[in-house]
Structure 1
């Protein structure tokens, strides 16, 4: 293409956009480090402080802290007084950067960037030859998902999520059979079992590590009504056993999600409820252009959810399967009624209430 035909304004704008990509990509890694070592949490509690004072308060190496603060300052994350060489974290920023923010803490989510970068070379090979990256190659994924989902569960599961189903808290109080499919570390099941001791709760996951974590937490809490089973949920193998089945960000990861949904429908008693929590998005690409997390979601799909499914010879449904496809698959699985709603504490997900 001739240079004379180029829109130079558009060229310059896109060049600036690419510069932002480089800066923001590096910033994501620095935010992840700051979250992991507790720098944001400490900064939020301190008055304007020097790098030496911050290093002392956190027990970290001052030289690394100082360089990290440089990155945070030029990125306009923290503020800096040159005269006193002091730094502080605005309260408005702390909402999204500290553990006190609960589900709003997006600094925690930046850990996924480093995790996914670790399999980049494997993904390049998949682009060229097909196949997928196996779940076992994501060494920190279980821990990060437990941290991410745990913040939502602690903030909203009992008070906001379960009451989405009319009459459910009262039924749980009386005592019903509950299962969580793809339970991960089992924190949701343990919260439900702890709050509703008359209900019998079981979590299923193919990860032995996750099941062990769930059992350990249940034992620490003294729960006698929570059980955990290592099982591929594609082979759930239950018939009209449960009154409530939940799945938190688990269905789109499955190798054959339609088969899993059919198994869940079969496991529910007549009139039972399936509470499915999954990514809030459209099945139509053009309708996701204004989704503030769309780039992140398609990236996570490519580098984790889709590729893990494909590594198992699965359908590769992907993270952004969307509401339209979800409704279709739920209907095909045998759910006669599906309602979709949202929870204020969870910006990423839609909440599907499906009745058998």
Structure 2
């Protein structure tokens, strides 16, 4: 039925001009995000942070890169007001306050990691266009370097904080792990969290399952390299996961919303726990209600990643495509429906983007 609503007579040209300027700024910032990804992948921010003001030739030589490309990248970073430039002697430098947010171990966290998501969106655009037109979904193989990006992200939000902030959310878990229990990381990716725990708690037994063959191969290689005999990784589709009462502690790190059937997945994890076992779940901490996410950190990027990755990954498995921003309310309800009780929800100061649930199986 045609839209018969009357169009406004007055056109606010100032509003239109301001909006056009905003769109131009968005496109400009998107380009900067891709260049941030390039700088991160090539180690250029670290190179800049470790030296005094230098010419493009000096920076390129230290980084082992081609000077002409480095110079053009530097121009983009200067235009984005990320790198400083002195035209008199043509030198560039990265202020310490900027390095704190763009280098590994930076005081503000390495936000350059997230620039890679913007670059990845561009890489998969053609595939995404076909999904809009034809429907269907994707597989992890459709996303170059996805597990590498997620491993870097996890390294900041999980691994670096695992023993100081994350595991202490579970009362008594340090003592239990030290004594020796059975642990599963479902959707383990490259297995960094599980490997860190296996090294720290040699009396416990650790299992990691993931659908990504490249991630499991990587995890197996690291575990073998470090001589860890108390850990195993297995390529496994967790749809219909049916292990029964064989684990004391189960973790999932940013893995539930990508599943074919998240509710069934959580029920399966409940069944896989022994009585008294604990489930620790990390996932995106936004709301299930769009209108409540206007101030959520990087909400636009998260919805975009959901559109291009998390939703089609679920649909590609035959799922409904719950999406990245499925919401903490949905997660809490699914935990309750699965039979978990005494569900505690936490947010950590170092990690404003995620929510952490601790749930116990009482019977």
Q: TM-score range by the shorter chain?
A: over 0.9
Cα distance in 2 for residues equivalent to 1:63 and 1:124: 34
> How many residues in Structure 1 have an aligned counterpart in Structure 2?
356
Q: Select the residue among 317, 325, 328 that pairs with 1:323.
A: 328
Q: Select the residue among 273, 284, 292 that pairs with 2:289.
A: 284
Cα distance in 1 for residues equivalent to 2:218 and 2:48: 31
Q: Secondary structure at the match of 1:347?
A: strand
- The equivalent residue for 1:121 is 126
Cα distance in 1 for residues equivalent to 2:13 and 2:295: 26
- The equivalent residue for 1:91 is 96
- The equivalent residue for 2:194 is 189
Cα distance in 1 for residues equivalent to 2:225 and 2:348: 29
Q: TM-score, normalised by structure 1?
A: 0.96
**Over residues 51-90 of structure 1, what are the superposed CA-to-partner deviations in whole Å (9 max), with x where a residue is unaligned?**
1111111111111111111111111001111112111111
Structure 1 alignment gaps of length 5 or more: none
- The equivalent residue for 2:16 is 11
- The equivalent residue for 1:349 is 354
- The equivalent residue for 1:156 is 161
Q: 1:250 to 1:102 in 2, by over 3 A?
A: farther
- The equivalent residue for 1:274 is 279
Q: Select the residue among 46, 49, 56 that pairs with 1:44.
A: 49
The alpha-carbon deviation at position 103 of structure 1 amounts to 7.8
- The equivalent residue for 1:230 is 235
Cα distance in 2 for residues equivalent to 1:192 and 1:123: 37
Asked if 2 retains the 8 angstrom alpha-carbon contact of 1:102 and 1:151, the reply is no
Q: Secondary structure at the match of 1:329?
A: helix
- The equivalent residue for 1:53 is 58
Q: TM-score, normalised by structure 2?
A: 0.94
Q: Secondary structure at the match of 2:82?
A: coil
The alpha-carbon deviation at position 2 of structure 1 amounts to 7.6
Cα distance in 2 for residues equivalent to 1:198 and 1:33: 42
Q: For 1:119-268, list aligned pairs within 5 A.
A: 119-268=124-273
Cα distance in 2 for residues equivalent to 1:144 and 1:169: 29
Q: Is structure 2 residue 31 aligned with structure 1 residue 26?
A: yes
Asked if 2 retains the 8 angstrom alpha-carbon contact of 1:102 and 1:152, the reply is no
Bigger Cα displacement from structure 2, 59-68 vs 207-216: 207-216
Cα distance in 1 for residues equivalent to 2:123 and 2:204: 41
Q: Secondary structure at the match of 2:239?
A: helix
Q: Select the residue among 296, 299, 304 that pairs with 1:299.
A: 304
Cα distance in 2 for residues equivalent to 1:40 and 1:18: 27
Asked if 2 retains the 8 angstrom alpha-carbon contact of 1:123 and 1:132, the reply is no
**Over residues 17-44 of structure 1, what are the superposed CA-to-partner deviations in whole Å (9 max), with x where a residue is unaligned?**
1011110111111111111111100101
The alpha-carbon deviation at position 238 of structure 1 amounts to 1.2
Asked if 2 retains the 8 angstrom alpha-carbon contact of 1:173 and 1:198, the reply is yes
